[in-house]
Amino acid sequence: MNIQEFIENFAAQFDETEPEAFTAETRFKDLDEWSSLAALSIIAMVDDEYDVIIKGKDITNSDTIQDLFDVVAKHRR
């Protein structure tokens, strides 16, 4: 698992936001397309792609994609 792959998988959950808008420093909750449905999509993507169960609090406590990546990486060990 690497950050670039995670960013690509994260970006794939959004229909209207250009993929170039996503970087490790992206504050994903500031995206126009961010919603509770997007959060559920991210939770499902992490489960499917990385076999890690994250909770809503993990998303709430994360500000950037890097923050969320770090949570997932910690749970994969």
pLDDT in tens, 16-61: 999 999 999 999 999 999 999 999 999 999 999 999 999 999 999 9
Backbone angles phi, psi at 63, to 5 degrees: -105, -35
**How many residues are recorded in the chain?**
77
CATH architecture assignment, domain 3-13+26-76 = Orthogonal Bundle (1.10)
Structure tokens at 76: 């994969």
pTM, rounded to two decimals: 0.94
In whole angstroms, give the CA distance from residue 74 to residue 77. 6
pLDDT-derived band at 14 (thresholds 50, 70, 90) equals very high
In whole angstroms, give the CA distance from residue 4 to residue 18. 15
